[in-house]
A and B are shown apart, each in its own frame.
Chain A
Amino acid sequence: GEDVEQSLFLSVREGDSSVINCTYTDSSSTYLYWYKQEPGAGLQLLTYIFSNMDMKQDQRLTVLLNKKDKHLSLRIADTQTGDSAIYFCAERGSSGGSYIPTFGRGTSLIVHP
């Protein structure tokens, strides 16, 4: 089946930029997503990008998509302790009319002072 891979941990210092990377295998992906899970809570959509875009910026967040390499990244500028969370990459393909997204295993972002 289709696969989404991301590293499990990232540690950064407060005020630095964080870059979380993700690779996927489904070449028919239409939308790619970043979800954020804070401790003890469910996942919430952070941002998404449509497959015909290569960059999307939203305040401190920058999403870069390299469709040729099937690589997605999330950059958080000026990382704060409140950004500590698990970040999930997800993709939705277009084959077979399936709505089911495929999630990565999540990257735990640890922000220390």
Chain B
Amino acid sequence: NAGVTQTPKFQVLKTGQSMTLQCAQDMNHEYMSWYRQDPGMGLRLIHYSVGAGITDQGEVPNGYNVSRSTTEDFPLRLLSAAPSQTSVYFCASMDTGSAKNIQYFGAGTRLSVL
């Protein structure tokens, strides 16, 4: 199993550009989420999804859109990139069928917005 796969690993954008961060999982997990990680701030939840067709906002949703058309994929869209969105982005999935609710993380996308 590949687990959670994120692409690209690195990206540099100019202010105002748009892009989509891809996330795919092959574990048939219903729950998926996006976090951003900034120094000293830990992980902050951007958006999450409890199943195909269902998404909801996390702690820091502004400037980001998500959709969940399939169980496997959960892309994160930056509509108009800003320097404040420079960060490391992690996608995670969770087996909600188990009470332990362990999260599985991708390797991250390192984004710089100039």
Contacts and interface: CB of A to CB of B under 8 A. Distances in A.
Interface residues of B, number: 25
B2 interface: no
Interface stretch (B12-20, B64-72, B73-81, B99-107): B99-107
A31 B100 contact: yes
Contacts of B42: 88, 103-106
Nearest to B43: A103
Interface stretch (A43-51, A57-65, A73-81): A43-51
Q: Report which residue of A42, A48, A100 has the largest number of chain B beta carbons within 10 angstroms of its beta carbon.
A: A42
Interface of B: 4, 31, 33, 40-43, 45, 48, 50, 58, 90, 92, 94, 96, 99-108
Interface of A: 8, 30-31, 33, 35, 40-45, 48, 88, 92, 99-101, 103-106
